[in-house]
Amino acid sequence: MNKKYLVLGLGLLMILLMIGSAFFSFEGEEEGFNYNGYYFYKTGNIWNTNYNGQVMQLEYNPRDVENIQNFQVLNGKAVYFFYESENDAINFLKTVFQFGGFTFVPEKIEDCKTETSVNLIYVEYNEEIKEPIISKRDNCILLSGDSYSLKKIAYYYLYKFMGIF
């Protein structure tokens, strides 16, 4: 008799597990959320949203970058970008600012103390800085971080320029 109840109990447990997995399985479902009127959904490792009728594919969603501290000093003047060395993250930052309607002037800026009539953005690439930092140094906006951090800063500004923030 005990063996019969054990087999019956195990069979019932297996049925309950199958039913539970059918109702509570999220594998294969789309991960997504609304943010300020835009729907962001993830496919693989890429976030997607519809912007002006086009699907944009993005590395970071707004929730990933919304807490980056921002200095509200960009005012539509020419933006002077300067940096020690060029890499993909810095190139992406420049592209984002061009998307935002800023003009680049290809003059060499030596430091952050001399110019006050334009926006100076100094990009400091440093693999030891693991979190994005936006700060002010003299007359410059200083964007600091490793490649991932600089990309997060770029996405922060991209979402600002798109009107999502």
Helix ranges (H only) for 25-112 are 62-65, 88-99
Question: CA 126 to CA 163: how far, in whole Å?
Answer: 29
pTM exceeding the 0.85 threshold for the entire prediction: no
Q: Is residue 146 part of a domain?
A: yes
pLDDT tens, position by position, for the chain (165 residues)? 566 665 555 555 566 666 655 555 455 455 899 999 999 999 999 999 999 999 999 999 999 999 887 665 555 556 677 777 778 888 888 888 778 777 666 566 667 777 666 677 888 888 899 988 888 888 888 888 999 999 998 999 899 888 998
Q: Domain count for the chain, please give it.
A: 2
Please report the pLDDT score of residue 19 as a whole number: 67
Which domain covers residue 18, as residue numbers? 2-26
> Do 81 and 136 reside in the same domain of the chain?
yes
